[in-house]
Amino acid sequence: MGTVSTGEKVMAAVSSGEKVMGAVSSGENVMGAVSTGEKVMGEVSIGDKVMGTVSTEEKVMGTVSTGEKVMGTVSTGEKVMGTVSTKERVMGTVSSGEKVMGTVSTEEKVMGTVSTGERLMGTVSTGEKVMGTVSTGEKVMGTVSAEEKVMGTVSTGERVMGTVSSGWKVMGTVSTEEKVMGTVSIGEKGMGTVSTGEKVMGTVSTGEKVMGGSCNREKKAKKASGFPDLLEFTE
């Protein structure tokens, strides 16, 4: 518990995103880690109130980047609940077209994904009311193209409940550090986030934090108990 970077009170380390309880970088109140986007509770980067992680698209609850209220992740369009980037009301993910509930990019009301034409219920970038198929015409119930969560058919035409881009059937999102429960980048079982080493339950591409398996690039998950039809690895 001392002073960090701008001399704010902190309890832990900050520069490398360690947990802190006090103010950080710009002297905002934070409880968690900051610079690397760890969990924080207070203000961050631009001094907006946040509860969760920030700066690196982590979960946040408060105001972010443009000072809008959000609850979730923001910078890269992760889950958010409140207002984001353009002050639109959203509940979900925004910038990258993840799940959202409220207004997004063009202030259209949407419930689902937007910018990339993913799952949505309301108006999207072009203002069309849709629920199911979108810009690319794939039938989806979730997010697609950006490897977001999907339940249906996506860019590669696989029927999946999760991410598809790399051709693995999964239940969750992958490659973009989204939560996943199934197979990830190298086909291992994963429950959590991968690619950048987020929480996972199984093995992940770079052997990041796992709870269960260990990193084994040779391991291909054909099936996983509980998800026999969702975790088939496609070469």
pLDDT tens, 43-65?
333 333 333 333 333 333 333 33
Residues 161-201 have pLDDT tens digits of: 333 333 233 333 333 333 333 333 333 333 333 333 333 33
| Residue 125, pLDDT score | 33
Letter for the amino acid at 203? T
Residue 61 lies in a domain: no
Distance of CA 188 to the CA centre of its chain: 20
How confident is residue 103, by pLDDT bands cut at 50, 70 and 90?
very low
Final residue belonging to a domain, choices 138, 163, 187: 138
Instruction: State pLDDT tens for residues 197-212.
Output: 333 333 333 333 333 3
Residue 89 inside a domain? The answer is yes
Residues paired with 10 in a beta bridge: 2
**Total of domains in the chain:** 3
**Is the domain of 74 the same as that of 52?**
no
Specify the pLDDT at position 58. Answer: 35
- Average pLDDT, integer, range 65-93: 35
Chosen domain end from 56, 79, 96: 56
* 126-165 residue pLDDT tens: 322 223 333 333 333 333 333 333 333 333 333 333 333 3
Residue 44 falls inside a structural domain: yes
Tokens 């709870």 locate to: 211
- For residues 70 and 133, membership in a common domain is answered with yes
Residue 198 lies in a domain: yes
- What integer pLDDT is reported at residue 181 of this predicted model? 37
Number of CB atoms found within 10 A of residue 134's CB = 26
In this structure, the answer to whether residues 152 and 227 fall within a common structural domain is: yes
The predicted pLDDT at position 46 comes to: 36
pLDDT value of residue 122: 31
pLDDT band at 107 (very low <50, low <70, confident <90, very high): very low
Please state, for a pLDDT cut of 70, what percent of the chain lies above it: 0
Residues 133 and 158 in one domain: no
pLDDT band at 82 (very low <50, low <70, confident <90, very high): very low
Strands (DSSP E) found in the chain: 2-4, 8-10, 19-24, 28-33, 39-44, 48-53, 59-64, 68-73, 79-84, 88-93, 99-104, 108-113, 122-123, 129-130, 150-153, 159-162, 170-172, 179-183, 189-193
199 inside domain = yes
Residue 180 included in any domain:
yes
The pTM assigned to this predicted structure is 0.11
222 and 153 part of one domain: yes
In a domain, 113, yes or no: yes
Give yes or no for a contact between 119 and 112, defined as CB atoms under 8 angstroms apart.
yes
pLDDT of amino acid 162: 32
Domain boundary among 138, 157, 175: 138
Whether residue 206 is found in the same domain as residue 224 = yes
Query: Same domain for 41 and 112?
Result: no
Alpha-carbon distance 151 to 187, whole Å? 19
Q: Is residue 22 part of a domain?
A: yes
Residues 18 and 78 in one domain: no
The answer on 167 and 103 residing in a single domain is: no
154/235 same-domain check? yes
Let me know whether 129 and 153 are in one domain.
no
Query: What domain range includes position 112?
Result: 66-138
Q: How many helices (H) and strands (E) does the chain have?
A: 0, 19
> Domain check: are 235 and 152 in the same one?
yes
